[in-house]
Chains A and B, each alone.
Chain A
Amino acid sequence: MAKIALKVNGNKIEKEVADNTLLVSFIRENLNLTGTHVGCDTSQCGSCVVHVDGKSVKSCTMLAADANGADITTIEGLEKGGKLHPVQESFKKHHGLQCGYCTPGMVMSSIDLLKTHKNPSDEEIRKGLEGNICRCTGYQNIVASVKGAIGKV
């Protein structure tokens, strides 16, 4: 067992986890934050993307023990004072989702993308979201949602 102390959505957390626990399992099963999804479980689909120290990573491909000392943000941590994050707002406005399963990962990746690219082109947006798969193939509106949030992150 590994003892880990970390911050999740601003809350200090100390827990003991089995050494082979994945970060996504820890988030969903130990913290009951089920907004982070497991789509493929093979590091391909990106629906498990969270921010670790401000960078987007696939939480199904990271050990919980490796997150010791980290500052983690999940989709639940984006809302501030009852107001959606600008990227969430833009996904809502541009209908950037169909079934919604991939959406938490799409939103988390989009925020990281807009932090590193202040004014991305359509191509840069599509390239930036390479690690996220939408099996409804609703990419057109997802790209529109990211474009709609330019300058707001």
Chain B
Amino acid sequence: MKQFNFHEAKSVKEAVKAASKNSAFLSGGQTLIPSMKLRLSSFSDVINVKNIKDLQGIKVSGKSVKIGAATKHAEVASSKDVKKAIPALAALAGGIGDMQVRNKGTLGGSIANNDPSACYPSACIALNAVIHTSNRKIDAEKFFKGMFETALKKDELVTAVEFTIPEKSAYIKIPNPASRYALVGVFLAKYKKETICAVTGAQPVVFRSKEIEKALNNNFDPNSLNDLNLKSNEMNADIHASAEYRASLVVTAAQKAVINCK
């Protein structure tokens, strides 16, 4: 790993002030540190934000679950409040990486990194999340821009994510057996007026499958997706799965999600 200056930020203000063109915010570091070790990235300054008080904690109100950006996956997975309000979100957090990654990795770090195969972005989209940052609020639909690309400015820090509680929801991940990242992950959230189907892992960035949503809005039943063939030309293809296979997996995962919706 190349040399850098380590900063311990005690407040959001302090973290933002220390940020520059060549700095990175360190939260759980479960992606940042491996990528620095492999020299895929290097920074002059690394700003530790995981101990900032304003970035901690889980708050459930009548309509939403607000989770501090530095909350670890293991905390979300075991939170009684999250399990009660949005069980699919707790289950999603409990399936990220492995136990050690979940003990260190954080919600804010995951969405700021926006890995195309990460789980959390699909929850943000399906649960109409609002991303709170050091200076504004961003709708999830406008936050995830492209592969590893978000609406965040260099000196902008995610402080919390506010998820809207649905009537019921489910997250189905078809994991890569080695990395446990999503080959395909489908987050389905059923609201009074509509069903939202957010898909991760299948394209360069998380997206809503309008075809699946249309079919499920007509009839919320796994069989209503039986004859659905998604176009494969925009799907990712790699050594783990072809584009056609991913297109098929999205439908299968969505059907399983309907069955498991609670």
Interface residues of A (CB under 8 A from B): 2, 18-20, 22, 41-43, 46, 49, 55-58, 61-63, 65-66, 68, 109, 112-113, 116, 128, 130-131
Contact = CB atoms under 8 A, between A and B. Distances in A.
Nearest to B74: A55
A41 B39 CA distance: 13
B99 A56 contact: yes
A129 to B, nearest CB: 8
A66 B26 contact: yes
B97 interface: yes
Given A22-B37, A57-B104, A63-B6, 13 more contacts: A19-B46, A42-B34, A46-B98, A56-B99, A56-B100, A56-B103, A58-B101, A61-B34, A61-B104, A63-B26, A109-B100, A112-B103, A130-B180
Interface string B21-62: 000001001100110111000000010101000000000000
A57 B8 CA distance: 20
Interface string B122-152: 0000000000000000000000000000000
B77 to A, nearest CB: 10
A112 B101 CA distance: 13
A19 B8 contact: no
A20 B103 contact: no
Contacts of A56: 99-100, 103
A140 to B, nearest CB: 19
B3 interface: yes
A65 B6 contact: yes
A148 B98 CA distance: 22
A15 to B, nearest CB: 14
B79 to A, nearest CB: 13
A63 to B, nearest CB: 7
Contact of A66 (B36, B37, B50): B50
Contacts of A130: 98-99, 180
B2 interface: yes
A2 B6 contact: yes
27 contacts: A18-B3, A19-B3, A19-B5, A19-B46, A20-B3, A41-B37, A42-B37, A49-B100, A55-B74, A55-B103, A57-B100, A57-B103, A57-B104, A58-B104, A61-B29, A61-B100, A62-B33, A62-B104, A65-B8, A65-B48, A66-B50, A109-B99, A112-B99, A130-B99, A130-B180, A131-B98, A131-B100
Contacts of B34: 42-43, 61
A106 to B, nearest CB: 12
A2 to B, nearest CB: 5
A151 B78 CA distance: 21
A18 B5 CA distance: 9
A62 B50 CA distance: 12
Interface string B198-241: 00000000000000000000000000000000000000000000
B26 A131 contact: no
A65 B31 CA distance: 17
B100 A19 contact: no
A19 B5 CA distance: 6
A18 B78 CA distance: 35
A52 to B, nearest CB: 8
A2, A20, A55, A131 interface centre (most CB from chain B within 10 Å): A20
B1 interface: yes
A43 B35 CA distance: 11
The 10 closest A-B pairs by CB, nearest first: A131-B98, A19-B6, A130-B98, A55-B103, A65-B6, A131-B100, A20-B1, A58-B100, A61-B33, A43-B34
